[in-house]
Structure 1
Amino acid sequence: MFVVRWILGRIILLLNFIFAPKKRQRSLDDQQQVDKKAQSLSLYQYNACPFCVKVRREMRRQNLNINLVDAKQDNNKQELISEGGKLQVPCLKISNNGKVEWLYESKAIMNYLNSEFA
Structure 2
Amino acid sequence: MKDFKDYTLYYSPYCPFCVRVLNAFKGLDIEISMKDTGDSANKKELVNGGGKATVPCLKHPDGTWQYESLDIIDFVKKKL
Q: TM tier, shorter chain?
A: over 0.9
Superposition deviation, residue 77 in structure 1: 0.8
Counterpart position of 1:84: 50
TM-score, with structure 2 as normaliser: 0.93
User: Where does residue 25 of structure 2 map in the other structure?
Assistant: 59
Question: What SS does the corresponding residue of 1:72 show, helix, strand or coil?
Answer: coil
Is residue 72 of structure 1 aligned with residue 38 of structure 2? yes
The equivalent position to 2:68 in structure 1, one of 77, 84, 105, is: 105
* Bigger Rg, structure 1 or 2: 1
Q: Which runs of 5+ in 2 are unaligned?
A: none
Deviations 1:53-90 (A, max 9, x none): 00001101110011121112111111100111101000
Letter in 1 for 2:8: S
TM-score (norm 1): 0.65
* 2:62 is the alignment partner of 1:93: no
SS at 2:25 equivalent:
helix
Q: Which runs of 4+ in 1 moved over 2 A?
A: none
Looking at structure 2, the residues matched to 66 and 113 of structure 1 have their Cα atoms a distance apart, in angstroms, of 11
Give SS of 1:48's match.
Answer: coil
Q: Which has the higher contact order (CA 8 A, sep 6+)?
A: 2
**Larger relative strand fraction:** 2
The CA distance in 2 between the partners of 1:63 and 1:110, in whole Å, is 12
